[in-house]
Amino acid sequence: MDYDGKTALIVVDVQNDFADPDGSLYVAGGEETVEPINQEIDRARKAGAYVAYTQDWHPESTTHFEKDGGIWPVHCVAGTWGAELHPHLEVTGEAVRKGTGGEDGYSGFSVRDPETGEKSSTGLAELLRERGIERLVVVGLALDYCVKATALDARSEGLAVTVLRDATRAVDLEPGDGERAVEELEAAGVAVS
């Protein structure tokens, strides 16, 4: 993907809990994405493209967590080491935080109230719209959750979307989840390269 003013790069959840082997929801190989992502950030910045980041940002108690009725170990609790962006990640733009009110949801674009099911925007769509963005490159963690959900929502927003396979890794709760995510993305018109 060549960057320009109408193409943005979104760096999804490159946080210690996912990208550091000591993180509580470590995604195998997560730390290996940091270098290719930094190169992508450099390419995007040199072309004057907009770069945004997302952060999973949970309260201590949320139905997202296994201990509170969900499926995940406690991770990315607001203000903790695990929620910080990886220390080697080049940070050059705004970070959109999702799940701050205990909502569920994986996409950088929207979260869902676990009680009412009501969806609300994180503000990312507005940030992109204000800048007249038409194309989005999505990288980060994890391929089968937040990267996939963000890319699919971006397609629903009418954007052309590319996911860079080398700059993401899958949780693979079930073996093959990453490959199935790629198929789902491609079926939705996302380019995976």
> Where in the sequence numbering do the catalytic residues fall?
13, 98, 146
Closest approach of Cβ 21 to ligand VGL, in Å?
Answer: 16
Kindly write down the DSSP assignment for every residue of 63-98, as one continuous string.
TTBGGGTSSB-S--BTTSGGGSBPTTS---S-EEEE
Closest approach of Cβ 160 to ligand VGL, in Å?
Answer: 22
Partner whose footprint covers residue 49, from ligand VGL, Zn ion, none (CB < 5 to 8 Å by kind): none
Burial (Cβ within 10 Å: 0-12, 13-18, ≥19) of residue 7: buried
Partner whose footprint covers residue 52, from Zn ion, ligand VGL, none (CB < 5 to 8 Å by kind): none
Residues that bind ligand VGL (CB under 6 A): 13, 18, 56, 72, 106, 141-142, 145-146
Centre a 10 Å sphere on the Cβ of residue 8 and count the other Cβ atoms it contains.
25
Partner whose footprint covers residue 109, from Zn ion, ligand VGL, none (CB < 5 to 8 Å by kind): none
Q: Which residue's CB is nearer to ligand VGL, number 3 or number 111?
A: 111
Closest approach of Cβ 147 to ligand VGL, in Å?
Answer: 7
Q: Which residue's CB is nearer to ligand VGL, number 146 or number 164?
A: 146
Phi, psi (degrees; rounded to nearest 5) at 135: -130, 140
Rounded Cα distance between 115 and 107, Å, is 18
- The residues facing 45 across adjacent strands are none
Q: Which residue's CB is nearer to ligand VGL, number 133 or number 143?
A: 143
